[in-house]
């Protein structure tokens, strides 16, 4: 989960100060990589692919950090970039069936909310049972604690779409958790 008590990022170094730039880039990535990986894992469902996409995001950040105008926009930039990398990955691998708004894929196995505490695997499995558009919205909501407006910005979709997808995804979640609710 994002650590709201983290101190603010150190000031951006001069691009000419190679050592300081590297230290600053490291600091940014170390703050975000766990959540980025978790989000990537929720999208791909595969550890190696998730690590690959996370790494590609970090690499893009190292290349383009100076084009991000404000430090406050870094988080959104990272998630936007990661999601684009995921879309490229999906296009290359064609593992994921194109989304149809009319259905969510739900398997019959059900979990209990108590199981969610053990480790992240049960929660991740629940996310994996959803179609990608719902999964991507719900993952950002839970993993990075983003507002629906921020999610809309990252995924480049209207806020109304985010709200409706969140609502439907939560319906699915409740169905999967139904026995204990």
Categorise residue 158: left if φ over 0, alpha if ψ from -120 to 50, beta otherwise: beta
Neighbouring C-beta atoms of residue 103, cutoff 10 Å? 8
Residues of this chain, 130-169, that bind another protein according to CB under 8 A: 139, 141-143, 145, 147-148, 162-164, 166-167
| Cα-based angle 74, 121, 125 (whole degrees, multiple of 5) | 90
Pick 104 or 143: Cβ nearer another protein: 143
Min separation Cβ 7 and another protein, Å:
19
* 144-174 as b/e: b if 16+ CB within 10 A: bebebebbbbbbeeeeebbeebbebbeebbe
Size of the site for another protein (CB under 8 A): 54
Nearest to 83 by CA among 57, 105, 51, 59: 57
Is residue 120 a contact point for another protein (CB under 8 A)? yes
Alpha carbons 136 and 40: distance in angstroms, whole number: 9
Contact by Cβ (8 Å): 145, 114: no
Tokens standing for residue 70: 């404000």
Residues of this chain, 32-71, that bind another protein according to CB under 8 A: 33-34, 37-38, 41-42, 47-48, 51-52, 54-56, 58-59, 61-63
Q: Which of 106, 124, 128, 157 forms a contact with another protein (CB under 8 A)?
A: 124
Alpha carbons 160 and 76: distance in angstroms, whole number: 19
Is residue 101 a contact point for another protein (CB under 8 A)? no
Min separation Cβ 136 and another protein, Å:
14
Is residue 26 a contact point for another protein (CB under 8 A)? yes
Min separation Cβ 139 and another protein, Å:
8
Binding site for another protein (CB under 8 A): 1, 18, 22, 25-26, 29-30, 33-34, 37-38, 41-42, 47-48, 51-52, 54-56, 58-59, 61-63, 93, 113, 116-124, 126, 139, 141-143, 145, 147-148, 162-164, 166-167, 170, 173-174, 177, 181
């Amino acid at each position: 989960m994002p650590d709201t008590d983290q101190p603010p990022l150190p000031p951006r170094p001069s691009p000419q100060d190679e050592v300081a730039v590297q230290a600053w880039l490291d600091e940014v990535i170390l703050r975000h990589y766990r959540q980025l990986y978790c989000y990537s894992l929720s999208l791909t469902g595969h550890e190696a692919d998730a690590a690959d996409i996370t790494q590609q995001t970090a690499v893009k950040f190292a290349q383009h950090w100076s084009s991000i105008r404000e430090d406050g926009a870094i988080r959104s930039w990272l998630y936007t970039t990661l999601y684009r990398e995921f879309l490229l990955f999906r296009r290359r691998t064609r593992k994921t069936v194109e989304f149809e708004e009319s259905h969510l894929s739900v398997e019959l196995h059900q979990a209990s909310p108590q199981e969610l505490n053990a480790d992240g695997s049960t929660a991740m499995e629940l996310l994996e049972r959803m179609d990608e558009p719902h999964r991507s919205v719900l993952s950002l909501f839970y993993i990075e604690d983003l507002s629906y407006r921020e999610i809309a910005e990252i995924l480049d979709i209207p806020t109304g779409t985010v709200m409706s997808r969140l609502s439907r995804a939560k319906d699915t979640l409740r169905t999967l958790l139904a026995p204990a609710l």
